[in-house]
Amino acid sequence: MKALSVIVLAGGKGKRMRSGLAKVLHPLCGMPMGRYPLLSVKPLRPERIVILVGHDAERVREIFPEPNLVFAHQRFQLGTGHAVACAMEELKGFKGDVLVLSGDVPLITTTTLRALVKFHRREKNTLTFISTIVEEPTGYGRVLRDEEGRVCGVVEEADLKEHEKALPEINAGIYVFDSEFLRENLGRLERLNSQEEYYLTDLIQMAFEQNARVSALTHHDPAEVMGVNTRVELSEAEKLMQKRILKELMLSGVTIKDPSNTYIDYGVKVGRDTVIQPGVCLYGRTTIGRACIIEEWVKITDSHIGDGTIIKSFTVIEDSRIGRSASIGPFARLRPECRIDNSVRIGNFVEVKKSHIKEGTKANHHSYLGDATIGRGVNIGAGTITCNYDGRKKHRTIIKDGAFIGSDTQLVAPVTIGKNAYIGAGSTITRDVPDGALSLSRPEQKVIKGWVKRHLSGR
Ligand code: UD1
Ligand code: CA
């Protein structure tokens, strides 16, 4: 079988995005758009993959960290033909088929790419590309066919003659070329068009004129091969990709109550029998265990949630690990670097930062727990605050197993509360409390009998 190499075009600026960010860096369901075509083509196990970078090259390279990729650089963005010519510098000596992908066609699937290569080989083609029929062809190159229906060229939007504008078949920007043909003809491209660019698409007419075998594989689903040139198209692509991600999760055993109001990034993992209520956002490198409940309007970023845990409404969790059978929220906020162990309960209006809370501990209401290590089976009363910051430095609070912290307590760090110790409500604790001790720091309560009557009568 012929060898296969791949070129991913990611050198353009994406002017129509009106952005300081190169187009392929714009995120789609949490992942830079330019990564999608690469991930789709990988299962084809190509011999070489060349990523063509140009505009903002350094940052674009960073989204392709995997080994075995080759980068080619395009100094000036002179068009897709020029881009492929630059990429071919890295395919010197390669003989076989070259699959060219556009970094801005992110919804393309492995199945379609496989079908394209297979079709190309079966037809013994020199050049095969994907086309599709759309209702609104504006913006795309139009496929020209002769009287016999053979593909004879592609005309770019900017170069269309009036009568060609209504042609419904468009070029999707995904091609397989015979490497010899590509090498011989890239150098013959000219910029005699309205954009003064080297068009890769001119090779289609050249192949036809040379009587080489060229054809289009017409895809039935325009959505899968849509290109993203503007932020309007970006939002359409986002919606389609989101739908795909949610469908896959549902088929794997996750209940998603309202898929049109659920936002889950590419790569987020959710275990079976977990229920996701409306308005939930799961972002980044998040993993959710089995049989969890994620209630309405929860946002979880880069975090792990263990099996059987419930995250109640309006909770925000960032860069944290939560164990099994825990209950968090409603209205809780877990800031980065929290470790919440099994069966912990964090209730409403509790903020936790950079803290480790061990098994079975409860902090059910209105607290700030920062830079703390809190043992097992601890009870944190309402209104407890770890005073972790002295204006210059952060300090740690240590609360050992079984301690009871009364309501409205301030723990002025650094401070340690011993095992099974009790802190009386309303205390400000500045010194360590030994194991098993009671500590409280509040003025003794006074009761002055008959005071009100005397006060009102003016005596
Ligand atoms: C291209 C096709 C058009 C097709 C459409 C499908 C050409 C001339 N036209 O148009 O027929 O219908 O895709 O989506 O190929 N790039 C570079 N360097 C450059 C120019 C572009 O790397 O100098 C990259 C871009 O980053 C992008 C891809 O090539 O990933 C396509 O470029 P773009 O300018 O978006 O082409 P379209 O105008 O959409
Ligand atoms: Ca494009």
Do 394 and 295 share a structural domain? Answer: no
Q: Is 85 in the pocket of ligand 1 (CB under 6 A)?
A: no
Q: Which residues contact 179 (CB under 8 A, 6 or more apart)?
A: 5, 91, 94, 95, 96, 97, 98
Do 171 and 64 share a structural domain? Answer: yes
Residue 238 domain-assigned?
no
CB 371 within 8 A of CB 353: yes
Do 55 and 187 share a structural domain? Answer: yes
Q: Is 402 in the pocket of ligand 1 (CB under 6 A)?
A: no
Do 156 and 36 share a structural domain? Answer: yes
Name the stretches of the chain with pLDDT < 50.
Answer: none
Q: Which residues contact 36 (CB under 8 A, 6 or more apart)?
A: 28, 106, 107, 108, 241
Lookup: tokens for 170: 């468009």
Mutate to test the pocket of ligand 1, among 61, 102, 105 (most ligand atoms within 8 A of CB): 102
Q: Atom 31 of ligand 1 has which residue's CA nearest to it?
A: 102
Residue 227 domain-assigned?
no
Residue 220 annotated as catalytic: no
Which residue type does 187 have?
Answer: G
Task: Give me ligand 2 centre to Cα 161, in Å.
Answer: 20
How many structural domains does the chain have? 3
Task: Give me ligand 2 centre to Cα 207, in Å.
Answer: 22
pLDDT, tens digit, 9 for 90 and up, residues 41-88: 999 999 999 999 999 999 999 999 999 999 999 999 999 999 999 999
Residue 246 domain-assigned?
no
Residue 407 domain-assigned?
yes
pTM of the model: 0.95
Q: Which residues contact 398 (CB under 8 A, 6 or more apart)?
A: 372, 373, 415, 416, 417
CATH of the domain at 30: 3.90.550.10
**CA–CA distance from 372 to each of 193, 375, 456 (Å)?**
66, 10, 49
Do 409 and 275 share a structural domain? Answer: no
Contacts of range 401-406, beta carbons closer than 8 Å, 24 or more positions apart? 401/358, 401/375, 401/376, 401/377, 402/375, 402/376, 402/377, 402/378, 403/375, 403/378, 403/379, 404/378, 404/379, 405/378, 405/379, 405/380, 405/381, 406/381, 406/440
Asked if residue 37 has a cis previous peptide bond (ω within 30° of 0), the answer is no
Of 219, 236, 263, the residue at which a domain comes to its end is 219
Residue 63 domain-assigned?
yes
CB 415 within 8 A of CB 430: yes
Do 141 and 265 share a structural domain? Answer: no
Of 219, 244, 275, the residue at which a domain comes to its end is 219
202 CA closest ligand 1 atom index? 8
Do 44 and 113 share a structural domain? Answer: yes
**CA–CA distance from 85 to each of 206, 252, 309 (Å)?**
16, 43, 54
Q: Is 410 in the pocket of ligand 1 (CB under 6 A)?
A: no
- Considering 365, 366, 395, 455, which one is annotated as catalytic? 365
Task: Give me ligand 1 centre to Cα 223, in Å.
Answer: 17
Residue 16 domain-assigned?
yes
22 CA closest ligand 1 atom index? 26
Do 359 and 344 share a structural domain? Answer: no
Instruction: Tell me the ligand closest to 170's alpha carbon.
Output: 1
Task: Give me ligand 2 centre to Cα 228, in Å.
Answer: 6
Q: Is 382 in the pocket of ligand 1 (CB under 6 A)?
A: no
At 43, give phi and psi (nearest 5°).
-60, -15
CB 298 within 8 A of CB 315: yes
Residue 153, number of CB atoms within 10 A of its CB:
21
Residue 234 domain-assigned?
no
Do 138 and 53 share a structural domain? Answer: yes
Instruction: Tell me the ligand closest to 222's alpha carbon.
Output: 1
78 CA closest ligand 1 atom index? 23
Q: Structural domain of residue 304, as residue ranges?
A: 252-349
Do 74 and 188 share a structural domain? Answer: yes
Q: Atom 26 of ligand 1 has which residue's CA nearest to it?
A: 12
154 CA closest ligand 1 atom index? 11
HSE value, Cβ hemisphere, 13 Å, CA-based, for 297: 7
Task: Give me ligand 2 centre to Cα 321, in Å.
Answer: 40
Of 315, 349, 383, the residue at which a domain comes to its end is 349
Do 277 and 198 share a structural domain? Answer: no
Q: Is 441 in the pocket of ligand 1 (CB under 6 A)?
A: no
pLDDT at res. 458: 82
Q: What is the CA radius of gyration of the chain?
A: 31
Q: Is 202 in the pocket of ligand 1 (CB under 6 A)?
A: no
CATH of the domain at 427: 2.160.10.10
Nearest alpha carbon to residue 99 among 72, 78, 127, 131: 127
Task: Give me ligand 1 centre to Cα 80, in Å.
Answer: 6
Do 208 and 135 share a structural domain? Answer: yes
Residue 233 domain-assigned?
no
Q: Is 141 in the pocket of ligand 1 (CB under 6 A)?
A: yes
171 CA closest ligand 1 atom index? 12
